[in-house]
Structure 1
Amino acid sequence: MATVTLGGNPVKTSGELPNVGSKAPDFKLVNKDLGVVSLSDFAGKRLVLNVFPSIDTATCASSVRNFNAKASELQNTTVLCISRDLPFAQKRFCGAEGLENVVNLSDFKDGSFGKDYGLEISDSALAGLHSRAVVVVDENGTILHTEQVSEIANEPNYENALAVL
């Protein structure tokens, strides 16, 4: 169980991020068209998993915008923006912002992604949502980098995440 903060107050998560060097846990997430997407759908691609509580907060929106800008410069890399938001909210946000270089995926059905990656917030007003984290996966499904952002209101370290690619 990891402890992060929200406004300086301790918040617990359901576990720890998978270890660097391990295989990324499989997932089943919902895309903007309500189709189910799994890790195997991205086989042969490098992935940046940008995980956050809700697209409707300033910091989460900023992370999606920043990764969208950086994603266009990455070879053989897909940025997945993952939250428990409904796919409709994710689609609305990216459409209004003109963001086309990231893939938004929702864990709204059962939260299994958050549990499997140790990111489900287990207490506080945000209980049930995901904590802010970045996981970078190579084209073989091996985890190259993880960052559990210590303060949920802070943005991830984009440079460290992208440097491993």
Structure 2
Amino acid sequence: MANVTFKGNQVTLLGNEVSVGNQAPDFTVLANDLSPVTLADSKGQVRLISVVPSVDTGVCDAQTRRFNEEAAKLDNVKVLTVSVDLPFAQKRWCGAAGVENVETLSDHRELSFGKAYGVAIEELRLLTRAVFVVDSNDKVTYVEYVPEATDHPNYEAAVEAAKAAN
């Protein structure tokens, strides 16, 4: 499993670590309108999946805004942000932040995504910071588990991987 800390403290990640070349694991999360969303719902598209502990924190806010800006410049790439924030909070945050190019998804109910991608933090019931790119054939082409969950991911590498997966 990925070696991850949260504010300098080692945390336990639940689920299986995902690697480049793996078939992307399926999951069920909730859209802002409480409807279920699965990986299959975006089949045939490249997906850049940005994982954050909570959109209401500084780094997560910045990460989601940055990928929102990048999404506007990417062709045929669906950008998803997954957290355990409630769908209502995600919707409120997106409205206040003017985020329209990223789809926020909530994993609060079952940690389905968190366990499938090995990003659920057992001690905090949050998701650790990570970025995945999944191509249109559901193959994982890019993985970053950010070693310190309060640090930023490598935005440029993730965007380049999404472009290359097209």
TM-score for the superposition, normalised by structure 2: 0.94
2:78 maps to what in 1?
Answer: 78
Q: How does 1:128-147 map to 2 (within 5 A)?
A: 128-147=125-144
Pairing 1:91–2:91 present: yes
Separation (CA, whole Å) in 2 of partners of 1:151 and 1:74: 27
How many residue pairs were aligned?
A: 162
Separation (CA, whole Å) in 2 of partners of 1:66 and 1:148: 18
The letter for the 1-side match of 2:116 is D
Separation (CA, whole Å) in 2 of partners of 1:16 and 1:28: 16
Runs of 4+ in 1 over 2 A off after TM superposition: none
Separation (CA, whole Å) in 2 of partners of 1:17 and 1:91: 29
Q: How does 1:1-165 map to 2 (within 5 A)?
A: 1-123=1-123, 127-164=124-161, 165=163
Separation (CA, whole Å) in 1 of partners of 2:107 and 2:10: 24
Separation (CA, whole Å) in 2 of partners of 1:13 and 1:22: 19
Shift of 1:14: 1.5
Separation (CA, whole Å) in 2 of partners of 1:29 and 1:21: 23
TM-score for the superposition, normalised by structure 1: 0.94
Q: Deviations over 1:87-111 (max 9, x none)?
A: 0000000101111000000011111
RMSD across aligned positions (CA): 1.1
Separation (CA, whole Å) in 2 of partners of 1:135 and 1:115: 14
Shift of 1:16: 4.5
Separation (CA, whole Å) in 2 of partners of 1:70 and 1:144: 18
- Cα pair 2:64 2:81 within 8 Å, conserved: yes
- Cα pair 2:46 2:77 within 8 Å, conserved: yes
- Cα pair 1:2 1:16 within 8 Å, conserved: no
Separation (CA, whole Å) in 2 of partners of 1:35 and 1:26: 16
User: Secondary structure of the equivalent of 2:61?
Assistant: helix
- Cα pair 1:17 1:148 within 8 Å, conserved: no
Percent identity, aligned pairs only, is 47
User: Secondary structure of the equivalent of 1:3?
Assistant: coil
- Cα pair 1:81 1:102 within 8 Å, conserved: yes
Separation (CA, whole Å) in 2 of partners of 1:17 and 1:134: 12
